[in-house]
Structures are given as C-alpha cells and as structure tokens.
Structure 1
Amino acid sequence: MNDASGILDEALERLHTTGPERLGRLTNHAPMAVEALVRNGRASTVHRWLDGYAHKLEDLPAPSRPITADGWREALGDPARSTDWTRFFGRELDEHPWREVLAEWWPRLLPGIAGGSTHPVIRTGHAVRTLLSSEDGGTATTTGPRLAELAHALGYWAARSLPLPPLTPLAAAPTAAAALGAVPPIAEQDGPLRARLDRLTAFPAWGTAPDPDTARERLVELVTAATHRYATHGHGEPIMLVHTATAPNAVLRTLPALPRELWAPSLAAAWTAAAAVTAAYTPPEPAAYTPTVLTAEEVFERAAAHGDDHTIKFTDTALDVGDPLALAAATRSIELNPPLFQ
C-alpha cells in the first residue's frame, strides 16, 4: 500500500469522530472507500473525496453503558449501543493482540453477517487488510488509527448483528455461479434489506468445504462469480447488488488473519450473505453489458473520479478478481450508480 505520507491514517483519525451510520440506517462508507482509494494508488484524492462526502457524516452516537466481557450478549444486535461496542473493542484491542480479538469474536459475529446490509463485515475486511498491510510493510508505528478502525468495524458489526431466519436447503449446485443463479428471489421485492431478509425461505446447497484450503478456494470462486454476475444482473438494484461480491470478498481478505479452523464457517457465512442479497434484489432477467478495453488502473481511475462509495469498493473487489469480465462489471457499476461528484 502506497501510504508513506500517512494519508490513510489521517483520514481514519478524521473519520473516527463520526458515527457508523446516518439517519438511523444509512451506512457511513467513508472508512472503506478511503482505504480502497489509498490501496489503489489514489491517496492524493482522499481528502478531497472526504470533503465531498462530509455532508453524509454524523457525529458519533452518545454512549449508553459499558459492555463487559461477561454481559455482551444482551447488547448484541442493538444498534443503539454502537458506541458502547466500539469502546468495548477499543479496550479489548488495547489489552490483547488484534488477531486474538478477531479470532475470539469472528465466530460470534458470523451468524449476523447480513446485519447492516453486510456493511459491517465489509468494513471489517478493509480494516483487517490495512492491518495486514501494516505488518507486511513494517509500519508498526502507524497502526494506532488502524487498530481503532478495527474497533469501529467490529463494534458496528456487533451492534447491527442480524441472524437470518431458518432456511430450507435446496438441491446442491455444482459451482458458485450456478448456486447464485439458482437462488430463488423473495416475494415482493420492496422495502429495506432488513425487511426483505424476513422473506427468505430457501437457498441452494453450496458453501461447504471439507478442509480450510478448499474453503478458501470456494470463497475465491464465490467472489469471482458474484463479481461477474453483476455485469449482467447489477441493473436489478445497482447499489445493493455490489454487496454480493464485496461482502464475501471482505471475508476472503480476513482469512489470513484467522485460525484455519474458522475458514470453513467463514465460507458458509459468506455464501449466506451473498445469497441473501441476491434473493432480495436480483432482477427477473439478465441484461447485456459492454466489454471494456480499459486496464485495471484505468478502470479504478474512473471509479475514483466517479466518486460513489459503493462503486469504488466494488471496483476494488473487481480488481482483486482481475479478469476482463470483472473489469467489465466494474465499468457497469460506474454506469449504473449515481456519482458523488456531479
């Protein structure tokens, strides 16, 4: 990550005075978007981008009462306790190595992966990628804001944790692409995602693995299939359908920081998240898309200039996949989503 100037740390410190949401339900995407901008060589645009996004930020919610290691269950899934949760994880990360905290809480949070429209796990994936990059680059002195970002991400996830209703397994699908294609749409595709999740009934059997390495391979397959599918199906709901790819990719990015025994359950949770968003927003018919001749760097440059936070994050995921169809899907997201900068 090209972050010699500390722009990412500056941006995170600036954002840690703001809450995880606005208007009680809309996610603050700025920490994720600025990480993607810096990661992809656009650090010089970060503060201008934040200035343009500032009208979408609110102050941190007021704290209520401290969450304890023994009494956390009653606060799980309570969005009014988001600041309490962030402070709890801040204390945990002050007292324990961040990988230990992540390993302890990851299996507790996975059942609620769809909460907050999957944004909390996505924010966690960006935070973990930043910490892993810090270790790889030997920038240990700059990890203070990045540890704080992990506390904010995990706190948001805990506050918005939302398990899915019981689901009936359908016939097994041979591939991730086939599984996504076989997800039955929910009835009455209207209302926010939380309301739509209550209408889920069944998913194709997929997302299991006999060992950690296979789990990782299938997670890569899922991210690839979801990214590709956006090219033909993103028009169904251009903003929400990016999460079919960005949520499982956040899980994939987190695997290197997790014990290997958590990789298979991570795949299962990522599959449920991708399938849930697919069921909630998939259109009845695919649409044509135009292949792109742009390079990966040119595609991301266009996404950064476009400025939409979902588009930036989806393009970041598409670059991880890296093939021509993924780049075409990214250009499709630039076409479909409204720009931040008019």
Structure 2
Amino acid sequence: MVDRTARGDGPMTGAVVLGVGGSLPGRVVTNDDLATRLDTSDEWIRSRTGIGARRWVEPGTATSDLAVDAGARALRSAGVSTVDAVIVATTTPDRLCPAVAPEVAARLGLVGTPAHDVAAVCTGFLYGLANGVGLIASGAARTVLLIAAETFSTILDPQDRGTAVIFGDGAGAVVLGAAGPGAPGAVGPCVLGSDGIGADLIQIPAGGSRQRSSGLAAAPGEHYFKMRGKEVFRQAVERMAEVSLDALARAGLTVGDIDHLAPHQANMRICAAVAHRLGVPEDRVLANLDEVGNTAAASIPVLLAQAAADGRVKAGDQVLAVAFGGGLTWGAVTLAWPDAVASFGTFVPAGS
C-alpha cells in the first residue's frame, strides 16, 4: 500500500484532505414529477428554492449503501485501502440503534477499525470534520475516513409541500491524513456552534425517548421530518455569515483570499444572502442545488466532490465551507484544496 499520509517539517498536529468521493442515486425526481401529486409547480419550486430536480433512492436502498459507495470512492481517490478511524455523519441511519458507521466500515473491509456516527443534521459533515481533525491532532489516528450520507426521501411527508420539494439523497466522503505545518491541502480551524433553544425548528417529533416515554401514540405525521422554514431562513443566514467570518479570521484569511464559497445547499435564497453578506462575488459561489436539492449532511462533500470532478475546483484553491442545520447547529472551515483526483458518480444497487 502506498503511504499517502501528508508529511511536513514539523509535528503531525494538523490534517489534510487526501482523497474525495461522492455518490448520488440514479433516480431523478423532477419538479414536474412532484407537481403531479402536490399543489405546486416547477415555477413555484424554482422561484422559492432554486431546485429543479433531486435524486431519491430506489426502494430497498439504505443510507449505508450510499455511504459505502462514497467511502470506497474516497479511498480510491486517496490511494489508500485502510484508515485508522471511520466517521459517518447522517440524520437518516439505517436503524435508530446501532450506529451505521461500524457496518459501513465492515462493508469497506475495515473490520476492527473504530467507527462512530455524528448527528448534526445539515452541519453534520463539518462536525464530523472537526471530529476527524481532532482524532489526528490528538495522535489517536493518522488517517480518518469521513463520510456524510443521507436518504432524506425516507423521512419526508410525501404530502408536505414545504419539505418534499427540497430534500434529496446522496453521500460524500473525504480521507483525512496527518500533516505538518504548511502542508498542501490543509484543513483550517473548524469553527462550530449550537443553540438548542431552537431545537423545535427542525425535527422529527416522534420516535425518540421523549415521545416514547410519554405513553402516548405518535400523532399522524409525527414520524416525518418537520421544518419551520421562515424562522430557519433568518437564523441560517445570520449564523452562516457570522461563523464564516470567524473561520476566516482564525485561519488568518480574508474574504478576498477565498477562491470558492461552498455553502450548504439549503436553498438558493439562503446561499445568495450569505454570499452577499460576506461580499463574495456570485462567480465564486459553488452550487449544485438545481440538480440535487438539499442533501442535508451530505450537501457540502457532494458539492465539493462534484465541483472537483468537473474542474470547477482545482488544486491549491482556497475553499470556505459553511453550513447550518437542526439542533440548531452551524459551522465553517477553510480548506486548501488538495492535488487529488475526485471520484464522483452514480450509485448502482447490487444486482442491477
């Protein structure tokens, strides 16, 4: 096996991205497809969200399936076959218990490797990134496979126009390696935040201990994902702009140093508002929302894998990634893009 762990002149206290992978289901669901059963239209959806289509898994496909595909792609991109830890960020694990990460690790041939889940909804990838960087900085690992995977289509109320048109399925992954100071592909300081006072703005009301311990049956529809969109919009714009500036300051960078803003693909208006507040020109804002919708925790790594694969992001580019999600949670990080060939493609179910 080739040792792709980054090496610098100093101690291994930082992390770099060694490889990138992304995977989307093959099933394309257009706005017109949804308009046949919802009181909506392609024009209504596009004007409010910027979404034209999204990818949904076929029946029988689980989050672990997408995670394994994206993880395998990232490992190939990095040129490694083993890692010291596996992290999976997801809101839609295969089961409420156990975590999905150990199964994903086993299916990737990493039996015995420590593996755990991270649950921070749409900020999950950045929380997972901070976990991975922390493992490397502490010396507990030299390489970490971080996967963010979602099958949000499985938790959406098919009759809720406010959520059914927004979310899609997908998975993205990166391999992190230990690095010395100034190594190419470096991950900057991960800046995170939360505010549990807003926990009810983005939630699945039923299925957890609070509903189960009440002794009451869940009300109709409470097993589906719920979101109070107007309140979330305001919070998302404010928090994403603030945490972006914090991440830039901690990395010793300014907005002018950024080649690409990679915002969580929540909706077109949020992304545009954040870019405007930061003063980032439109041509520096990465987007794939029109084609894949909001893939929650997978949003940022899917966006970066796709942008790297099609040449929009190149080695040495400085990227600012920022997200906001349920919890409420938010985070931002700067990335010096690595010299790695991203692997991005369509998930093909076994037996197809």
What TM-score does the superposition give when structure 2 sets the normalisation length?
0.27
Higher relative contact order (CA closer than 8 Å, sequence separation 6+): 2
Which structure dedicates a bigger proportion of its chain to strand? 2
Q: Which has the higher helix share?
A: 1
TM-score normalized with structure 1 length: 0.27
